């Protein structure tokens, strides 16, 4: 196969190349994914979403998500919203849409411009540190189907001052499969700002699972039990704003998802 149809979409600036592949004709490799995500020689994106069929349980689709460097990822909250946007736009699904990910089945609810995704409830399970240049920060380890380290910034360090052109250092024994690192500044008790360095992609404009991790830690630090309460946390990211809602053990990520382009990519020209 020399040419493949693609779409480009984003959720609060976290952007993806979507490859519709319900017939199972597209074979992804780390080299091809990295070439597609290359912002100068390819289409450019934080990751690739292959839209595949899935037979079993209640889901009819599989979100095959790859990071920009060609590594596999368990789950992506913004990617899930873009995935659902494609399914609705293509007339493949509507309303509440279940689909499979490597972290299990998720549900997306499409309401106009806003899409909510039923995420894996965040589990704060430990503590570690991240080092960025001369700055070492304590952080909370959070599992959202993928690993996160949420680091609160001291008031003396502006969020905008961080240099995320390089990966933060972390304890590889604690996070043997790598980790997404969030840097957080408070706005109010249930409103925070964050930047993120994503495992396999670098700094991105937004991270859905990261927003869920940050929201869970914010509520914990406020003395609230996120898994049991009903509460919303607003999370500002460089690409916009998302809302994380906890309700009796469920965790929903709510925000926009937009498809901006579609076309045909010449795989031979990518050289992968």
State residue 241's pLDDT score.
98
10 Å CB burial of residue 212 (0-12, 13-18, 19+) is buried
Q: Which of 151, 207, 212, 251 is catalytic?
A: 207
Question: Among the options 76, 151, 212, 251, which is catalytic?
Answer: 76
Known catalytic membership, residue 251: no
Closest to 212 measured CA to CA, from 121, 149, 126, 82: 121
The Cα diameter of the chain in Å comes to: 56
Q: What is the pLDDT of residue 125?
A: 95
Domains in the chain with CATH codes: 3-119+257-270 (3.10.310.10), 123-248 (3.10.310.10)
pLDDT of residue 23: 96
Distance between first and last Cα of the chain = 13
The whole-number pLDDT of residue 209 equals 96
Q: What is the CA radius of gyration of the chain?
A: 18
**pLDDT by residue, tens only, the chain of 272 residues:** 789 999 999 999 999 999 999 999 999 999 999 999 999 999 999 999 999 999 877 889 999 999 999 999 999 999 999 999 999 999 999 999 999 999 999 999 999 999 999 999 999 999 999 999 999 999 999 999 999 999 999 999 999 999 999 999 999 999 999 999 999 999 998 999 999 999 999 999 999 999 999 999 999 988 776 555 789 999 999 999 999 999 888 999 999 999 999 999 999 999 87
What pLDDT does residue 106 have? 93
Per the annotation, the verdict on 76 as an active-site residue is yes
Q: Specify the pLDDT at position 56.
A: 78
Q: How far is it, in rounded angstroms, from Cα 239 to Cα 77?
A: 14
Per-residue pLDDT, 59: 84
Instruction: Give all strands (DSSP E) within the chain, no chain letters.
Output: 3-11, 14-20, 47-56, 59-67, 96-101, 104-111, 114-119, 123-132, 135-143, 147-152, 169-170, 180-188, 191-198, 202-204, 230-237, 240-247, 250-256, 258-266
């Amino acid at each position: 196969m020399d040419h493949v149809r693609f779409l480009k979409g984003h959720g609060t600036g976290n952007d993806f190349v979507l490859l519709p592949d319900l017939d199972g004709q597209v074979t992804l490799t780390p080299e091809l994914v990295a070439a597609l995500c290359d912002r100068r020689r390819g289409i450019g994106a934080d990751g690739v979403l292959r839209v595949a069929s899935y037979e079993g349980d209640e889901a009819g689709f599989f979100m095959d998500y790859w990071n920009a460097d060609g590594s596999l990822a368990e789950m992506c909250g913004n990617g899930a919203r873009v995935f659902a946007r494609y399914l609705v736009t293509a007339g493949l699904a509507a309303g509440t849409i279940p689909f499979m990910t490597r972290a299990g089945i998720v549900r997306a609810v499409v309401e106009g411009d806003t899409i909510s995704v039923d995420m894996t409830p965040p589990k704060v399970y430990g503590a570690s540190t991240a080092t960025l240049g001369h700055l070492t920060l304590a952080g909370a380890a959070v599992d959202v189907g993928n690993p996160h380290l949420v680091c609160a910034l001291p008031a003396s360090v502006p969020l905008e001052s961080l240099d995320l052109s390089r990966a933060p250092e972390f304890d590889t024994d604690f996070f043997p499969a790598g980790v997404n690192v969030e840097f957080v500044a408070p706005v109010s008790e249930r409103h925070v700002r964050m930047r993120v360095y994503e495992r396999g992609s670098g700094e991105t404009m937004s991270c859905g699972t990261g927003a869920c991790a940050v929201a869970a830690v914010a509520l914990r630090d406020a003395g609230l039990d996120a898994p049991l309460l009903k509460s919303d946390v607003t999370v500002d990211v460089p690409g916009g704003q998302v809302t994380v809602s906890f309700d009796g053990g469920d965790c929903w990520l709510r925000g926009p998802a937009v498809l901006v382009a579609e076309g045909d990519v010449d795989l031979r020209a990518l050289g992968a």
